[in-house]
Copies of this chain bind each other. A is one copy, B any other.
């Protein structure tokens, strides 16, 4: 990486960090390019020397946040654990993490950031998809005899959709249920779905 590129990357990170701070404090809607410039200690227009537009900056923020998210979600993996129990923990953790990071949810599922720049697309693509991890764990449940092999796909689809639906309600509809209650529901649902049919 050239000298120039190192410096440019550093500048980019200044703006990205500033943006992330504002995002956490005030949310996506209240972020503005002026605020980011202020917080980073530069004029607002300087941003446009390093990012195509605000959406590109936000895409970099998203990539950063996904990094953390995946790290957090990965370390729930405990080999010793029963796959069914593992799946429950995974579902809980997934829900909880997004519930506590509404901005991530917004950027990832709600906001339209336009085309993802290649540099970031690579970064995001390499990360193991959430769906895959879920399917894998459900697959283990099948091997452990909890469910049938041919149920894996339906269950994976059902579970991912359900968790995201609950997130939508929790974060967007000032939903009736507090977080802990929803977590309980998720636990119950997975418990219901993954069990030996007698």
Contacts and interface: CB of A to CB of B under 8 A. Distances in A.
A160 interface: yes
A134 to B, nearest CB: 13
A164 to B, nearest CB: 4
Interface residues on A, range: 20 to 34
Enumerate the 4 nearest inter-chain pairs by beta-carbon distance, A residue then B residue, closest first. A165-B165, A161-B165, A164-B165, A161-B162
A157 B197 contact: no
B173 A169 contact: no
Contacts of A157: 185, 189
Given A110-B172, A165-B166, A197-B198, 13 more contacts: A109-B172, A109-B173, A151-B192, A154-B189, A154-B192, A157-B189, A158-B162, A158-B189, A162-B165, A163-B165, A164-B164, A164-B168, A165-B168
Given A188-B154, A189-B154, A197-B197, A166 B173 contact: no
